[in-house]
Amino acid sequence: MSLNQVGVPDTDDQAALLEAVGGVLRRVWTPDMLLDPEGEPAVDGRRVWSALAGVGLAGLPLTEGRGGAGGTWGDLAVAGELLGATVAPSPFVPVAGALGALDVLSTDAGAEILQGIAEGAVVPAVAWTGEHPSTLVAIESGGAVTVSGEIDAVLGGRIDVLVARAETAAGEVLLVVVEVGEGVTVTPTESLDLAREVSHLALSGASARVIARGEQAERAVRRGRAGAVLALGAELVGVQGHCLEGSVAYALERTQFGQPIGAFQGVKHRLADVLAAVELSRATVRHLAQCLDDLGSTPEMLDEASGLVLASVTPAAVAAGNAYIQVLGGIGYTWEHEAPLYY
């Protein structure tokens, strides 16, 4: 029995996209690669991402004129469910954040970086540090810009560029792009997520390119934040869907007292709650995608839609992972099963 709760397409094009992305993932990735508790997980996110970029995922919501695949943010949300369902290691979230921020700008420097990201050749990290005490400080001198400061955690380990919010001494907000090199130290940090690398960044006089200033920079940052939230939300919807499908399959197979455990109310009601949460989560992510696809959406609209995603999807994903382990019983707590990867 299949509930088909992972990658639910709204159009024929999205169904074809899911088939293409699913084919790539089956070829280059399986969650089993993370299930070796005795050694280092065999994670090669760049290899996986390079393969996904080959079917257009890296630049999916961009127009073809900007180097993208001519899709929509809604398409990206659908594809993201597959990445979450397979816990695929990839820079999906920071890429979506960078695309969201850079796509609304018309500067040549921004277009150049955008092209590299859309091709899968450039892997970004994003840091919208304005709401944290570790705000990056930009110094302008003679037409050159350098950035200094520390960022406690960014998604990614093997990154090429940092797209970040910085401020000048006068308080002007800048959107800058910093290439990882001289003046940039990337230090991997321990993460509970075996498929997602996390790094600490230290910048000391790192050369930077200013992509936007003032209100334009703030608008780009808020749109970039919405793009990252959409990608994260889509992955978590995929996590929920996979946990639900696995839980139902086991509940129909495992018997106790002469009947499937799914026949007991304590199990069936719990999984019914998970199903309701999956569908609500998917609706909030698709709503955010519609806002991103509508260029008339204001930053306030994007902030509100992003908040809805975070408020609904995050706790629902935790509950789905917990239900998966609980329905499985003892086997769900061991490295002999995939369940710990989803909780």
User: How many Cβ atoms sit within 10 Å of the Cβ of residue 250?
Assistant: 21
Task: Say what the pLDDT of residue 245 is.
Answer: 96
Q: What is the pLDDT of residues 280-319, one digit of tens each?
A: 999 999 999 999 999 899 999 999 999 999 999 999 999 9
What residues pair up with 316 in beta bridges, in sequence order?
none
Closest to 165 in 3D by CA, of 153, 180, 177: 177
pTM for the whole thing?
0.95
Task: Say what the pLDDT of residue 41 is.
Answer: 60
User: How many Cβ atoms sit within 10 Å of the Cβ of residue 79?
Assistant: 27
* Rounded-to-integer distance, Cα 58 and Cα 51, Å: 10
Contact 117/58 with Cβ under 8 angstroms?
A: yes
Task: Say what the pLDDT of residue 49 is.
Answer: 96
Closest to 78 in 3D by CA, of 155, 18, 151, 2: 18
In this structure, which amino acid lies at residue 111?
A: A
Task: Say what the pLDDT of residue 45 is.
Answer: 86
Alpha-carbon torsion (319, 303, 79, 114), positive or negative? negative
Instruction: Show the low-confidence residues of the chain (pLDDT under 70).
Output: 1-2, 37-42, 129-134
In this structure, which amino acid lies at residue 334?
A: T
The pair of structure tokens assigned to 189 is 């940090």
* Rounded-to-integer distance, Cα 93 and Cα 82, Å: 14
Task: Say what the pLDDT of residue 164 is.
Answer: 93
In this structure, which amino acid lies at residue 284?
A: T
DSSP conformation class of 169: T
Contact 77/60 with Cβ under 8 angstroms?
A: no
DSSP conformation class of 37: T
The pair of structure tokens assigned to 250 is 């086991």
